[in-house]
Amino acid sequence: MGKAHSLAYAAMPMFFWPPPAVPHRKVIAEMTDQLAQSAASRFGSESWTTDWRRVVDDPEIDIVDISSPNDTHCEIAVAAAEAGKHVICEKPLARTAEEALQMVEAANRAGVTNMVAFNYRRTPAVALAKKYIDEGAIGRVLSFQGTYFQDWSADPKTPLSWRFKKSIAGSGALGDIGAHSLDLARHLVGEISSVVGVLQTHITERPLEVGSHDRPAGPTGTVDVDDEVHTMFRFANGAVGSLGATRNAPGRPNFDTFEIHGETGSLYFNYQRCNELQVCFTDDEPDRQGFRTIITGPEHPYGEALWPIAGVCIGYAETKIIECYEFCRAIAQGIAAEPDFGDGYQVARICEAIQLSASSGTWIDVPPLDRQSMPVAPDLKGVATT
Ligand SMILES: NC(=O)c1ccc[n+]([C@@H]2O[C@H](COP(=O)([O-])OP(=O)(O)OC[C@H]3O[C@@H](n4cnc5c(N)ncnc54)[C@H](O)[C@@H]3O)[C@@H](O)[C@H]2O)c1
């Protein structure tokens, strides 16, 4: 993610001109001198450090961007907010809802702009789906069916990286990729009010990592997070939904999809064809009924800033560039960023409700996100978040 975020800071003003800000990549933190030095020269940072606290304490720094593993998010974000820095943090916001709440409270108390990096929202085709729903093009939304399938952990020889360790990751497929889909469900349809789910760990032992190299024949360690989650949910507005997420789906490298049915139309998105949105509107002429495919381009959300011709296509990097733009725009305009730490916290609460449901076998209610009861920074009070 350090690569994706660094590229976004460099490229954002080339796409969004005039830019809300021109970011300077001042300092990059890594674990060792060698990693930090190499990251700085590769990703265009003016300097490097092996102690993130030096970044947080540096008066020249305005933005702290957290792209390290999940166990580091809370401590760095709280320290950065307390030092008055604007903070963007990778998903999942934290390992637990309790940690995520600490981050929300620290950011709100300090009055700093904060964002959780749910970048799939920024895919133009997803933003187009949001626009159609908000305009009422598919009427009242009835249902959301999401999948987030990846294939990289299907091989039992995939080493025991931090993503398989609860103490670092918090959870497995649920928080790693399911969280992205839960964000899309909330973003596109509305607040999730209750959940029921199952979690499964298919491969319980994996070869230990040695540095960053695979050592399939060596000693193994225990996986203590889920490999796979399936959940159904109810939305507060009466819609219903479901999600399956796994990193053990051979043939599905990044099968992040949703299908949404409304009273007067349907929408289908598959990230593996991320320049396309499939739409069906029931007010089309009877002989034209059915799904058709829109290729996103200059006419669609963020399109003017991207490439001048529909179909020349965007990829993952552009979602991070747009995310960077939205974050810098929120800072420059003094408005709340979206999705913010509050959204990351709510997704963490939904994930915990799914875990509780999986162990109890029952539906679990998710309390609504009560932004009014959270500490609110004076300069953000009353600012609409849409
Ligand atoms: N938004 C997305 O689509 C997306 C995709 C992948 C990962 N992520 C998230 O990004 C974060 C990083 O994931 P990744 O795939 O880049 O992981 P990674 O393991 O590839 O890289 C993490 C890097 O952080 C460094 N690091 C660890 N602790 C550190 C510390 N205390 N100080 C400085 N550097 C430290 C490691 O040395 C490593 O280089 C995770 O939270 C992950 O969930 C988000």
Using the mean position of ligand 1's atoms as its centre, give its distance from the Cα of residue 91 in Å: 10
CB of 312 sitting under 6 A from ligand 1: no
pLDDT higher than threshold 90 for residue 144: yes
pLDDT of residue 217: 62
* pLDDT tens track for 37-60: 999 999 999 999 999 999 999 999
Using the mean position of ligand 1's atoms as its centre, give its distance from the Cα of residue 281 in Å: 41
pLDDT of residue 294: 98
User: Averaged over 192-208, what is the pLDDT?
Assistant: 98
User: Averaged over 87-96, what is the pLDDT?
Assistant: 98
pLDDT higher than threshold 60 for residue 82: yes
What phi and psi, each to the nearest 5 degrees, are found at residue 20? -65, -25
Joined together, the tokens standing for residue 134 give 């908000």
Q: What percent of the chain has pLDDT over 70?
A: 95
pLDDT band at 370 (very low <50, low <70, confident <90, very high): confident
What phi and psi, each to the nearest 5 degrees, are found at residue 247? -105, 10
- Kindly give the number of the ligand 1 atom that is closest to the alpha carbon of 176: 43
End-to-end CA distance of the chain: 26
pLDDT higher than threshold 80 for residue 384: no
pLDDT band at 375 (very low <50, low <70, confident <90, very high): low
Closest C-alpha to ligand 1, atom 43: 91
pLDDT higher than threshold 90 for residue 205: yes
- Kindly give the number of the ligand 1 atom that is closest to the alpha carbon of 66: 11
* pLDDT tens track for 289-347: 999 999 999 999 999 999 999 999 999 999 999 999 999 999 999 999 999 999 999 99
* pLDDT tens track for 273-289: 999 999 999 999 999 99
CB of 68 sitting under 6 A from ligand 1: yes
CA distance 347 to 328: 23
pLDDT band at 218 (very low <50, low <70, confident <90, very high): confident
CB of 72 sitting under 6 A from ligand 1: yes
User: Among residues 40, 170, 165, 175, which one has the least CA distance to residue 116?
Assistant: 175
pLDDT, the chain, mean: 94
pLDDT higher than threshold 70 for residue 214: no
* pLDDT tens track for 242-265: 999 999 999 999 999 999 999 999
User: Averaged over 363-385, what is the pLDDT?
Assistant: 65
User: Averaged over 9-30, what is the pLDDT?
Assistant: 98
CA distance 77 to 68: 11
CB of 181 sitting under 6 A from ligand 1: no
Q: What percent of the chain has pLDDT over 90?
A: 93
pLDDT band at 159 (very low <50, low <70, confident <90, very high): very high
pLDDT of residue 381: 33
Contacts of residue 242, Cβ cutoff 8 Å, sequence gap at least 6: 144, 145, 146, 230, 231, 232, 233
pLDDT band at 211 (very low <50, low <70, confident <90, very high): low
Q: Dihedral (C-alpha) 149, 151, 157, 161: value to the nearest 10 degrees?
A: -60
Using the mean position of ligand 1's atoms as its centre, give its distance from the Cα of residue 164 in Å: 14
CB of 121 sitting under 6 A from ligand 1: no
What phi and psi, each to the nearest 5 degrees, are found at residue 135? -80, -5
pLDDT of residue 371: 84
pLDDT of residue 90: 98
pLDDT of residue 374: 72
Closest C-alpha to ligand 1, atom 22: 68
CB of 77 sitting under 6 A from ligand 1: no
